[in-house]
Amino acid sequence: MEKHHKKIHKGRVKTEIKIKQKLIRGNLALIALQPIRLYKNQLEAAILAIKNILKKEVRIITRISPYLPVTKKPSEVRMGKGKGNIHNWMARVQAGAILLEISTNSPILAPLALKSAQSKLPIKTKILKKI
């Protein structure tokens, strides 16, 4: 028997910028500069881009998790008949929130890996270094 999740409305993402957070476990981090609904596959693409460059020398800590279900109706279905099935998962990300942290020993390749992760995400992001 399948587990049923509560189907939610899209909602809004707050536009005010949070106070900058501190890094917990990593050396470098990606910070969101815009509010967005970030989907699971977008976050996974960024993580994969980091892993492709740094291989096994990196530990990635995700600070956000896609916890909200997104529904989609099948094609060619008429109006009515209720809400569609769960299609994807998303997280509401506020501006100034830390998306990913990485801890690695290679100071040359780490910024390159985060730049490739930035290109996978649909928003403007900033790289934060631990002082």
pLDDT at 22 (0 to 100): 83
According to the model, what pLDDT value does residue 106 have? 86
How many CB atoms within 10 Å of residue 110? 23
Encoded tokens for 80: 């009515």
Q: What is the pTM of this model?
A: 0.85
Collapsed DSSP state (helix, strand, coil) of residue 110: helix
Structure confidence at residue 47 (pLDDT): 95
Measured from the Cβ of residue 83, the count of other Cβ atoms closer than 10 Å reads 11
The domain locations on the chain are 37-71+84-129
- Name the token pair of 62: 């995700």
Reduced to 3 states (helix: H, G, I; strand: E, B; else coil), residue 8 is coil
pLDDT by 10s per residue, the chain, length 131:
566 667 888 888 877 776 667 888 889 999 999 999 999 999 999 999 999 999 888 999 999 999 999 989 888 889 888 888 889 999 999 898 999 999 998 888 999 999 999 999 999 999 998 87
Q: Which of 88, 89, 94 is nearest to 36 (CA)?
A: 94
d(CA 115, CA 81): 44
The closest alpha carbon to 72, from 86, 61, 59, belongs to: 86
Instruction: Count each helix (H run) and each strand (E run) in the chain, helices first.
Output: 2, 7
**CATH superfamily name and code, 37-71+84-129:** Ribosomal protein L16/L10 (3.90.1170.10)
